[in-house]
């Protein structure tokens, strides 16, 4: 009981001591001013935020239909049926999307698998043209050495220029 009275008397003594009250008020006002400055800086930064432009689609579609030519001609052999079915299913199941922010590939049954990369992750781009330059196979190497392959990319010259421009911007 004496301990409680001693502690309470110290507490009461601190409240009645004018020097300690002044020190506490001064300390609390500094904290208040710092909090107010932080709040004002946040409001200013929200006003000055860079507004991102909306994502625009540059290309969206399946691989080039020209990749069906050789497998379709090889149907006359028994072995040619398998490559034809494989390229035909790729026409229905693969979708490339190139936007101003990312490249995405939807694949798998009904397009349920998605791979997305952003331009700042691209390290290197390689291409091999097909059918006299009508389409190209594009291999994108990422900074973590992962690879993304865009097989039979139609309109490849325009798409490659756009991709390379975005890589340089980032």
pLDDT of residue 46: 56
Contacts (Cβ under 8 Å, ≥6 apart) of 20: 14
User: For a pLDDT cut of 90, what percent of the chain falls above it?
Assistant: 42
Mean pLDDT of all residues in 108-112? 78
148 touches 140 (CB < 8 A): yes
Whether 32 shows a pLDDT value over 80: the answer reads no
Cβ atoms 117, 125 nearer than 8 A: no
* Global model pTM greater than 0.75: no
What is the rounded average pLDDT of the residues 121-125?
93
Q: Which residues contact 18 (CB under 8 A, 6 or more apart)?
A: none
Per-residue pLDDT band at 25 (split at 50, 70, 90): very low
């Amino acid at each position: 009981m004496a301990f409680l009275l001693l502690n309470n008397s110290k507490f009461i003594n601190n409240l009645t001591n004018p020097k300690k009250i002044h020190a506490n008020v001064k300390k609390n006002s500094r904290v208040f001013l710092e909090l107010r400055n932080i709040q004002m800086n946040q409001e200013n930064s929200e006003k000055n935020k860079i507004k991102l432009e909306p994502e625009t689609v540059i290309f969206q579609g399946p691989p080039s239909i020209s990749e069906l030519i050789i497998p379709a001609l090889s149907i006359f052999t028994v072995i040619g049926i398998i490559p034809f079915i494989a390229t035909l299913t790729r026409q229905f199941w693969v979708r490339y999307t190139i936007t101003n922010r990312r490249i995405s590939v939807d694949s798998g049954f009904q397009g349920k698998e998605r791979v997305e990369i952003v331009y700042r992750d691209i390290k290197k781009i390689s291409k091999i043209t097909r059918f006299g330059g009508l389409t190209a196979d594009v291999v994108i190497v990422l900074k973590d050495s992962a690879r993304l392959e865009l097989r039979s990319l139609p309109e490849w010259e325009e798409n490659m220029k756009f991709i390379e421009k975005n890589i340089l911007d980032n």
